[in-house]
Amino acid sequence: MIPGRWCTAAALAIALAASGTAAGQDTDSRLPATYLSALASYRAGDLAAAFGKLQELGESEVPGITQRLMRPDVAGASSWPRLLTAAILLHTEAFLIRSEAGPWPTGDVYLLTAHSLVRRLLALAREGQPGIGESERMLARDWYLLLASVQHGRADVGRSRAFLEEALKSFPKDAHLTLALGADHEMLSDQTAGYVNFFDTDGRFRRQSEVDADDELGEAIRYMEQAVVLDPKQVEGRLRLGRLLYRRGELDRAAQELDAARQLTSQDQLRYLALVFRGMVEAARGQYERANSFYSDALRLLPSGQVAAIAKAEAAYLRGRVGEAAATIQATLQQAKKDDPWWVYNIGEWWHFEHRLAWIRKYVQQ
C-alpha cells in the first residue's frame, strides 16, 4: 500500500477518462474480494467493518477498482446499479472520514472516484440503462447536495460552487440544487472582505477572486427566486429569499416572502428565523415597536434564541431604551446556551448534512 495521496487529481482524472474508452480491453473485470466484502459490510450497515476492509485494501487499488466498476461487465445487469451506488457511498464516506480531521484533502482518491462514479451513473441514466432510473438520478443529485453540505460546513465555497454548477447542468429544474447554489452565493454575500480560491471538481486550483458581496447577493437572489418558482412551497427558499431581499432593501417583497415562509411551516426553527428576519424588516422601516413584537414572538418559540435577543436589544437601543437593551443583552449572554437556528442557517447547506447522509445511507442499505 502506498500511503497518502499517491496520485494527483489530474492523473486520476486522465486514468478514469481513459477507462471509458478502454472498456472491454481489460479482461479482468472482477473486483477484489476485500472490496466486495467492504461493500457488503457497508450495505449491511456495519460501517466500521466496511472502512476497515477498505483500509486493508489500500487506496492505491481504488482507481483501478473504479475503472472496473464503470464497465457493464463488472456485474450482472441487474446488480450493476446497486454496485455502483454502494461504491459511490462507500467512497464518499471514506472521504468524509478523512476530511473530518484536517484540511480539505485536495486530490483525495475517494472523492475523485466517487465523483467519477456519480457522473457515470448519470450518464447511464441518460442512456436509459436498465435498472438506473429516477431514484438513481435522485441519489446522484443528493450526492451533490451532501457534498455541498460538507463544503459549506467548512466555509469552502471555493470548492462547492463547481460541484453545484455541474449538478445543475444535469438537473436544471431542480429546486433543491437551485436553492443550494443560491445559498452558496448567499454565504459570500455576507462577507465584507477577503478573497476566495476557486477549485474545479477535480480539485485543481482555478482562480483567486476578491469577494464581491453585491454581486454575490444579486446571484443569491436570482437563484432563490428561481428555487421559489420551481417549488413555491419550499419554505427555506422563501426564508432565504426574504432575508436576501431585506438585505438589498426590498422590504415589501422581503416581508411577503417571510410571511409566506411562516405560513408554510409549523417547524419552530424555521418560524423562529422567519420571525427574526421579519422583525429586521420592520426595524429597517423604523417600525421598532412592530420589530420588537416579531422578536418577542420569536423568543416565545425559542426562549434561548440568542440572535432574536440581540435583534430585540438593538431595536430597544434605537428607541432610546438603553437600559432595556442592556438588560436584554445581559440576560441572553448569561443564559444557558442552546443552539440558535441562525448559527446553522448561516452555514449554507450544512444544516441538511445529517439527514442527507442518513437518507442516502438508507437508500444503499435498503
Partner 1 sequence: MRWQWAVVAFVAALSSTPSGQQFRSGAELVSVDVLVTDGRSPIAGLTAADFELTDNGVPQTVEQIYVEQLPLNVVMVLDRSGSVRGERLRALKAGALTVIDRLRPRDRAALVSFSHRLDLGAALTGDTATLRRSVETLDAEGSTALRDAAFAALALRTAEVTRTLVLLFSDGLDTASILSEAQVLEIARRSDAIVYTIGIRERPARNRPGYRLRSDRPVDHRFLERVSRETGGRLLYAEENRDIERTFGRALDEFNTRYVLGYAPRGVVGSGWHRLEVRLKKRSGTVLARRGYFAE
Using CB under 8 A as the criterion, which residues of the chain lie in contact with partner 1 when the complex forms?
A: 103-104, 154-159, 188, 190-197, 199, 205, 208, 210-211, 247, 276, 280, 306-307, 310-311, 313-314, 317-318, 320, 322-323, 325-326, 328-330, 332-334, 337, 340, 342-343, 346-347
Residue 10 CB, nearest approach to partner 1 (Å): 16
Residue 282 CB, nearest approach to partner 1 (Å): 14
Bridge pairing between strands 205-210 and 195-199:
antiparallel
Residue 287 CB, nearest approach to partner 1 (Å): 15
CB-nearer residue toward partner 1: 293 or 346: 346
CB-nearer residue toward partner 1: 237 or 341: 341
Residue 238 CB, nearest approach to partner 1 (Å): 19
CB-nearer residue toward partner 1: 70 or 283: 283
Distance CA 250, CA 261 (A): 17
As to burial, measured by CB atoms within 10 angstroms (0-12 exposed, 13-18 middle, 19+ buried), residue 290 is middle
For CA atoms 4, 8, 13, 19, the dihedral sign is: negative
Distance CA 133, CA 125 (A): 6
Instruction: Choose among 76, 50, 54: nearest CA to 65.
Output: 54
CB-nearer residue toward partner 1: 57 or 313: 313
Give the distance from CA 223 to its chain's centroid: 15
CB-nearer residue toward partner 1: 139 or 280: 280
Residue 198 CB, nearest approach to partner 1 (Å): 9
Residue 158 CB, nearest approach to partner 1 (Å): 5
CB-nearer residue toward partner 1: 26 or 190: 190
Residue 272 CB, nearest approach to partner 1 (Å): 12
Instruction: Choose among 308, 318, 243: nearest CA to 281.
Output: 243
Distance CA 209, CA 112 (A): 24
Using N-to-C axis directions, what is the helix angle for 80-100 and 109-127, rounded to 10°?
150
Q: How many CB atoms lie within 10 A of CB 10?
A: 12
Distance CA 30, CA 323 (A): 74
CB-nearer residue toward partner 1: 134 or 210: 210
CB-nearer residue toward partner 1: 61 or 212: 212
**CA angle (120 as vertex; 115, 122 as ends), nearest 5:** 95
Residue 146 CB, nearest approach to partner 1 (Å): 18
Contact 165, 125 (CB under 8 A): no
